[in-house]
Chain A
């Protein structure tokens, strides 16, 4: 058993639902107990879909367990196919049904439906949501395309499939539009977008494209690798989030499609480079940032933070164990710190929280859960990855990918930070009654003031791991007061550095002198 407060991913059948809900004319039958229909409201409320997800549940209850649950499955399958008349049927189990072993997939295959029936194996006690989505997409594509001949390609204009965007995916809706624009500018047509918006009939056209764009490796990597083996379709390995990655992506597309992307690159316009170069952004240099999310978004964010915004990445992690190797490579490339940074690969929210409190960064880029952590610690935060809440399915155009995506990233990540002038004034004058580092943002009203201030000033340092705190170090009152003159967003770091310095030097009592000695030793 694993003690869990928040979970970054749902169960694997949630991933199967995301594939079904992304597509047209596909229906999913889930053998699941009463109550598991809660998952519908993630689609209807968080993503605000106007339609129910195409999922029918057997919703068995205790009284059914004495009887024939397999008959309940058969009955549900028959009714569902008759009512919804899908072009393909996905059949799977939720975690409780997995224990009953009614084999709904095999039952469905034996019922003589005249549509493709795709049984899903979703091991609920070892795998999670993204794995379930990737497996469902792969299983469906393989079921429909296996044994198909290699089509004729080589029309005058190269064609690509966009694979990976799903329902409930972070900003998938607008990323599709942005990447389609990007490809069009380079002279590449989009053949099929899947699973988002595709029908089974569209999946049959996948082999007609010259190559695949793997937009979200968590969902589409396995499918892309299979298509490469079976249909000789190469696929892109760069995810175009950030200016540098978008440029690399276009070059990769050029190679795969055999076209010159020079003109498209020359015409590419995004404001991030100038905004980031303009002197207003100088104060962003070396801001210490902690990054956590799915692997794709976390790695992309690390590159943007380092190379495009001039931040220092002091922590990087993911909840996707499947991508541990990629995250390690990114940590080596983008993270700063003495002795290299060990990336955090965990699905344990409490471990992430402990890491954030220990590192005391000035900005957290993460998921909905990191917002909880950052709020508690009083650290500015922006969301870069699922899981997300309803506000991150915005009405406005808000891609993460491509050229406009870079603009969105700049605004979103800089917004929570204090503006430069304000930062200077707070450092220079510490006694102002309303304009001080403990003043909460004005929109929160006067009530927010005290709480926020205390958490911000003290939480990062005081919640540091016990081993760093309970040794014989003491702070002289003067030194403690001097510490409080340091702006709050670097105070935690200053406290830790000073204590580390004192320990290294064998100093037991920290004075003002020690504080400044440490500052000289470590830099800012």
Chain B
């Protein structure tokens, strides 16, 4: 079912909170209002930075008066920032609702400023606005802006797209290597790379494997540069990770036995680790409110590998092209909803009374107070959850609130 109404979700600016940690030489300058600055610090405020790599150029009344003025102001702020942080290699100008409504052309501004910097700093623009993007979509628009900057190459290579924690990235590198990617001389690259200065190449022989379900536009931009998408479910849980790696291997004609050989150890470990959480999760009913696009793959993992029952699975938007492989595996939930009409959805939730509700922090405590057990969803974007060795950790994230509710005497 599709719904429209009040949506309780983050805008794409929230992506900055993890992107600025991943891409170590990048700085994110939001061009927006005090609201945007307030959002960023509310989302990232508990981290104490010596010097954060993001900031907001807050529009003032006089900026709204005329466009030429606005561009001059932006140039001034960018110069001020670059003088303060000479170590910045790539500067993202991040569009917001206000900057988009007044039609401030950040793409042109980025080109102008890059020219002026004469190769010292690369300046790119993307949209993180709430009117255009929902939460993790902010990563998609950011990576899309990087695609034209990637060098061209016609050698066969695998490109894994979507931010992964460094430790998970390293695990996957070892697995790809063990499966034989080194032997067939097909390098494995990751986007985003740890520095924006060293972007992976792309070309006609590049095959793209999405590690996150929300990078649809990035994949489309890569396809436009000749790359080919490998369709696969996402690497959550044992099944998802095995299928994901298997699809990559198949695309490079690596025999399945080699994949099995590389995965056998980690799979056995993951199965052992998952055992105790299965006991706690099996038979429990779970609902997802829309948030990050991770709802379908996580629902699939929890239903098929942990024995949970899916009540309502809500997604902010449904990108069929990115989700086909997941939808094929997903046990039919009682309800699959796209979009949101918050109050109506909460009414359904109260009627369903699932054992566990995955939702944002604006709703979690109020629902707990109504006696519903919740798992706040943002943590799923910040924690290492992909791959075999994280499968038990992923299950634990959902078992923990249930465990806690059982422990507390008052």
Contact = CB atoms under 8 A, between A and B. Distances in A.
Given A7-B34, A124-B34, A375-B48, A1 B59 contact: yes
A37 B77 contact: no
A126 to B, nearest CB: 5
Contacts, number: 175
A126 B61 contact: yes
A65 B101 CA distance: 9
Interface stretch (A45-53, A259-267, A319-327, A410-418): A45-53
Contacts of B131: 33-34, 60-62, 64-65, 96
A2 B42 contact: no
A128 interface: yes
Nearest to B96: A96
A33 B58 contact: no
A123 B45 CA distance: 25
B361 A41 contact: yes
Interface string B341-384: 00100000000000000001111111011000000000000000
B112 interface: no
A94 B35 contact: yes
B38 interface: yes
B10 interface: yes
B7 A37 contact: yes
Contact of A45 (B35, B73, B101, B365): B365
Interface size range of chain A in the complex: 35 or more
Interface in B159-175: none
A177 B176 CA distance: 63
B8 interface: yes
Contacts of B343: 79, 83
B55 A3 contact: yes
A513 B59 CA distance: 54
A100 B134 CA distance: 21
Contacts of B49: 372
B63 to A, nearest CB: 6
B68 interface: no
Interface in B92-114: 97-98, 100-102
A100 to B, nearest CB: 7
Interface size range of chain B in the complex: 35 or more
A103 to B, nearest CB: 16
A4 B55 contact: yes
A14, A52, A76, A126 — most chain B CB neighbours (10 Å): A52
B31, B63, B97, B129 — most chain A CB neighbours (10 Å): B97
Interface in B1-15: 6-14
Interface in A21-76: 33-42, 44-45, 48-52, 56-62, 64-65, 76
A14 B39 CA distance: 11
Contacts of B34: 4, 7, 9-11, 95, 124, 128
Interface in A150-202: none
B406 interface: no
A42 B56 CA distance: 20
A49 B365 contact: yes
A35 B130 contact: yes
A382 to B, nearest CB: 16
Contacts of A2: 57-58, 60, 77
B266 interface: no
Nearest to B12: A35
Given A34-B131, A59-B7, A1 B64 contact: no
A251 interface: no
B151 interface: no
Interface in B40-86: 41-43, 45-46, 48-50, 52, 55-61, 63-64, 70, 73-74, 76-77, 80-81
A56 B366 CA distance: 15
A351 to B, nearest CB: 13
Contacts of A274: none
Nearest to A455: B50
Contact of A1 (B31, B39, B43, B50): B31
A35 B42 contact: no
A94 B130 CA distance: 13
B352 to A, nearest CB: 19
In the A-B complex, list the 4 residue pairs whose CB atoms are closest, starting with the nearest: A35-B11, A35-B130, A40-B362, A50-B369
16 contacts: A1-B74, A3-B55, A4-B57, A11-B35, A33-B129, A35-B12, A35-B97, A36-B11, A36-B35, A44-B365, A50-B366, A94-B35, A96-B101, A99-B64, A125-B61, A371-B48
Given A36-B35, A45-B361, 12 more contacts: A1-B60, A1-B63, A10-B38, A33-B131, A35-B11, A37-B9, A50-B365, A64-B131, A96-B130, A99-B102, A125-B33, A372-B48
